[in-house]
């Protein structure tokens, strides 16, 4: 069942060329996408709310703050919106740098309409996936917060693949105590099996350090 309270994804377009902005708006709206256009990076930053789902179609060369600089600013502010870079002739090296810095994709001008639509749809799907993952991680971390320090210790050891006897020896407690803490951790994490518990811990980073 869909959630009617979930905002509709928006394709944000940042390009200093009015003709490009108008063309992209027409193309994207023709297939039902919500679109907002901006002439500059600063204009986009002033209005962007990272809680809004969507993706960013960004010209790599714009006056003032460049596309690469906007990308860096978004990353510094932990605004993880998928970015598709638009590049002109001679901008491939900049596009490659953008990809290294986390851009999802880049397309060259003049671009094929269907190619752009395909890339945008991919970016929107990726944004939805990332948001689901973040929401699931938040739920798991809330469950982790309910564990006692000892339950957390036991869970870490169990998830690392250590048998109850080894966990007991490592923590200086009895095997029976390990079993009790393990069962309580499984219950609080709402894990139906050890593989499920392992998957949960991987999802929230507990397999490699503190969340």
Domains of the chain: 10-131 (3.40.50.2300), 146-203 (1.10.10.10)
**Pairing relationship of beta strands 54-59 and 10-14 according to DSSP bridges:** parallel
pLDDT at 145: 93
pLDDT at 207: 65
Tens digits of residue pLDDT in 127-159: 999 999 888 889 999 999 999 999 999 999 999
Q: Which two tokens stand for residue 34?
A: 């919500």
Residues 67 and 91: their CA atoms lie apart, in Å, by: 11
Calculate the average pLDDT of the chain: 89
pLDDT of residue 108: 86
Residue 78 is given by DSSP the state T
Q: Which residues lie closer than 8 Å to 123 by C-beta, 6 or more apart?
A: 55, 82, 83, 84, 104, 105
Partner residues linked to 35 by β-bridges: 11
Alpha-carbon span 178 to 169, nearest angstrom: 10
Residues whose CB is less than 8 angstroms from the CB of residue 137 and which lie 6 or more positions away in sequence, other chains included: 203, 204
Higher pLDDT, 206 or 176: 176
In tens, the pLDDT along 36-75 reads: 999 999 999 999 999 999 999 999 888 888 888 999 999 8
Nearest to 77 by CA among 65, 67, 86, 69: 69
pTM: 0.75
pLDDT of residue 204 exceeding 60, the answer is yes
Residue 10 CA to residue 33 CA, distance in Å, equals 7
Residues 6+ apart with CB under 8 A from 145: none
Q: Give the pLDDT of residue 155.
A: 94
55: helix, coil or strand? strand
33 pLDDT band (50/70/90 cuts)? very high
Counting residues of the chain whose pLDDT is more than 70, the rounded percentage is 94
What's the confidence (pLDDT) of residue 15? 93
Name 193's Cβ contacts closer than 8 Å, sequence gap at least 6. Answer: none
CB-based contacts of 111, cutoff 8 Å, min separation 6: 86
Q: What is the DSSP letter of 31?
A: T
pLDDT range class, residue 90, cuts 50, 70, 90: low
> Looking at residues 90-119, what average pLDDT do you find?
85
Average pLDDT of span 11-34: 95
Q: What is the pLDDT of residue 70?
A: 93
Neighbours of 206 (CB within 10 A): 22
pLDDT of 2 higher than 70: no
pLDDT score, position 208: 53
pLDDT reading at 185 higher than 90 = yes
28 band by pLDDT with thresholds 50, 70 and 90 = very high
What single-letter DSSP state applies at residue 151?
Answer: H
Residue 66: closest CA among 87, 89, 41: 41
């Amino acid at each position: 069942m869909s959630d009617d309270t979930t905002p509709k994804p928006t394709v944000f377009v940042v390009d200093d060329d009015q003709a490009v902005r108008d063309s992209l708006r027409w193309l994207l709206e023709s297939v039902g996408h919500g679109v907002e256009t901006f002439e500059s990076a600063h204009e986009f930053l002033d209005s962007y709310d990272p809680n809004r789902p969507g993706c960013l179609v960004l010209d790599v060369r714009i006056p003032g703050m460049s596309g690469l600089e906007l990308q860096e600013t978004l990353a510094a502010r932990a605004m993880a919106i998928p970015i598709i870079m638009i590049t002109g002739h001679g901008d491939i090296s900049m596009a490659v740098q953008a990809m290294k810095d986390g851009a999802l994709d880049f397309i060259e001008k003049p671009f094929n309409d269907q190619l752009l639509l395909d890339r945008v749809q991919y970016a929107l799907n990726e944004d939805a996936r990332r948001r689901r993952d973040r929401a699931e991680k938040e739920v798991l971390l809330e469950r982790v917060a309910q564990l006692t320090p000892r339950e957390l210790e036991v869970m870490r050891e169990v998830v690392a693949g250590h048998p109850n006897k080894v966990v007991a020896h490592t923590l200086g407690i009895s095997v029976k105590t390990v079993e009790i803490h393990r069962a309580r951790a499984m219950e609080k994490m709402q894990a139906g099996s050890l593989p499920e518990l392992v998957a949960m811990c991987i999802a929230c980073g507990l397999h490699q350090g503190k969340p």
